């Protein structure tokens, strides 16, 4: 939460916010082992998505009839049917330092670049969506 506020302050040009945000970014904060063990014990078990889960999400997404909900429905259907991770379907942010070349039209935010997941390539028109 503090880093969010400092980044917001840096965007507004408030003095000291950028420097403190950079210091916090470089810090590694570790949780004590006993506290970590308690957290892990309280955490719910991970469940694999079942057909019923995926089907309910897809049906609800299509029923809401908005572009965002349809996108979620298609993404969940692809994730379930192709047994892919969510990151593989929708994409993820990567640090710019790990990227050799940034292509035109790439989404960049600070030191992060968006790497999309599955994309439809229209070879005949030379377009990608």
Q: Render pLDDT for 33-84 as a digit per residue (tens, 0 to 9).
A: 999 899 888 888 888 889 999 999 999 999 999 999 998 999 999 999 988 8
Residues 92 and 125 occupy one common structural domain: yes
Q: Model-level pTM?
A: 0.51
Is 47 part of any domain? Answer: no
Q: How many angstroms separate the CA atoms of 69 and 2, rounded?
A: 32
Whether residue 34 sits in one domain with residue 67 = no
Examine the domain organization and report whether 96 and 74 are in the same domain.
no
* 92 and 78 in a common domain: no
Structure tokens at 44: 């719910």
Query: Would 113 be classed as within a structural domain?
Result: yes
Structurally, the chain folds into a number of domains equal to 3
- Structural domain span for residue 128: 87-129
Cα–Cα distance, 28 to 31 (Å, whole number): 10
Query: Do 25 and 63 sit in the same domain of this protein?
Result: no
Do 29 and 57 fall within a single domain?
A: no
By CB atoms closer than 10 A (0-12, 13-18, 19+), residue 20 is middle
In this predicted structure, the answer to whether residue 87 has a pLDDT above a threshold of 70 is: yes
CA-closest candidate to residue 96, choices 114, 71, 69: 114
* C-alpha span between 70 and 59 (Å, rounded): 9
Residue with tokens 């379930």: 80
**Does the structure show a pLDDT above 70 at 99?**
no
Q: In the predicted model, what is the mean pLDDT of residues 7-34?
A: 85
Does residue 31 sit in the same domain as residue 59? no
């Amino acid at each position: 939460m503090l880093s969010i506020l400092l980044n917001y302050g840096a965007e507004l040009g408030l003095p000291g916010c950028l420097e403190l945000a950079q210091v916090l970014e470089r810090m590694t904060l570790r949780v004590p082992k006993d506290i970590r063990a308690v957290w892990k014990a309280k955490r719910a078990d991970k469940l694999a998505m079942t057909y019923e889960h995926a089907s309910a999400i897809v049906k609800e997404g299509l029923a809401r009839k908005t572009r965002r909900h349809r996108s979620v429905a298609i993404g969940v259907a692809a994730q379930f049917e192709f047994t892919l991770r969510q990151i593989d379907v929708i994409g993820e942010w990567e640090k710019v330092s790990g990227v050799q070349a940034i292509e035109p039209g790439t989404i960049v935010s600070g030191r992060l670049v968006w790497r999309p997941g599955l994309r439809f390539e229209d070879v005949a028109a030379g377009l990608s969506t």
